[in-house]
């Protein structure tokens, strides 16, 4: 099945997104990056490194596990129950601009859950959404502010994002 993004293109996309973030927010003051587990976390770390290159400031990063906020715990499981990982937001999100980072934006339900999770930590000034891949098929009125690449897919397909930190290599593949 086709690889729709390789390591080089992924790196370029992240650099571009970092520039867009700095440009749109006129700097990085009060910015914080929060990655959604699992693959949003390394992406947030990489964006923080890119932003540091551009603006010379290291913005704080955190990790959010949205498992406990999902809306499908009651439904018959299609696969094994997701393993709960630790949420780690070691700073106050009050009055900050939070950049929520995920690998694939699909139905929007994960992001809905992430909003609920985030609001339990405080009241951010605003939340912006970063997605490496937007594959369409939204079920909720949610859109990304920064997108690495839009990839048209059918619902039967699946999009696999692989990252060096977790999977040993950087690539995005469409399967099915």
Partner 1 sequence: MTTVATGLATRDLLGIRDLSAPEIELILQTAFAMKEIGTRPIKKVPTLRGRTIVNLFFENSTRTRMSFELAEKRLSADTLGMTTAGSSVSKGETLLDTARTLEAMSPDMIVIRHGSSGAPHQLARICRASIVNAGDGTNEHPTQALLDAFTMLEHKGRLAGLKVAIVGDLLHSRVFRSNVLLLTKMGAEVRACAPPTLVPPGLRAMGLHVTSSLDEAVSGADVVMMLRLQLERMQGLFLPSMREYFTLFGLTPRVLERAASDVIVMHPGPMNRGVEIDSEVADGPWSVILDQVANGVAVRMAVLYLLAGGEGEGGDK
Minimum CB distance to partner 1 smaller for 109 or for 121: 121
Tokens at 26, concatenated:
């006129």
User: Could you say which DSSP state residue 163 is in?
Assistant: -
Minimum CB distance to partner 1 smaller for 56 or for 79: 79
Q: Least distance (Å) from partner 1 to the CB of residue 120?
A: 4
Minimum CB distance to partner 1 smaller for 85 or for 125: 85
Across 82-121, b (16+ Cβ under 10 Å) vs e yields eeeeebebeeebeebbbbbbbbbbbebbbbbbbeebbeeb
What is the H or E stretch that residue 44 is in?
helix 40-55
Residues found near partner 1 in the complex (CB under 8 A)? 65, 68-69, 73, 76-77, 80-81, 83-88, 116-117, 120-122
* C-alpha–C-alpha distance, residues 31 and 80, integer Å: 36
Q: Least distance (Å) from partner 1 to the CB of residue 78?
A: 10
* C-alpha–C-alpha distance, residues 165 and 42, integer Å: 7
Minimum CB distance to partner 1 smaller for 94 or for 175: 94
Q: Least distance (Å) from partner 1 to the CB of residue 93?
A: 10
């Amino acid at each position: 099945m086709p690889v729709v993004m390789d390591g080089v293109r992924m790196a370029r996309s992240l650099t571009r997104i970092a520039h867009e973030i700095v440009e749109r927010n006129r700097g990085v003051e009060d910015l914080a990056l929060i990655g959604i587990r699992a693959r949003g976390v390394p992406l947030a770390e990489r964006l923080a490194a890119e932003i540091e290159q551009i603006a010379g400031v290291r913005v704080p990063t955190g990790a959010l596990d949205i498992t406990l906020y999902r809306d499908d715990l009651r439904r018959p499981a299609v696969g094994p129950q997701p393993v709960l990982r630790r949420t780690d937001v070691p700073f106050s999100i009050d009055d900050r601009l939070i950049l929520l980072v995920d690998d694939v934006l699909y139905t929007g339900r994960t992001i809905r859950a992430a909003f609920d999770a985030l609001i339990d930590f405080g009241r951010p000034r605003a939340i912006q959404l970063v997605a490496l891949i937007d594959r369409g098929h939204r079920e909720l009125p949610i859109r990304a502010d920064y997108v690495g690449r839009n990839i048209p897919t059918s619902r039967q397909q699946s999009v696999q994002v692989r990252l060096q930190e977790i999977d040993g290599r950087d690539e995005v593949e469409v399967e099915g």
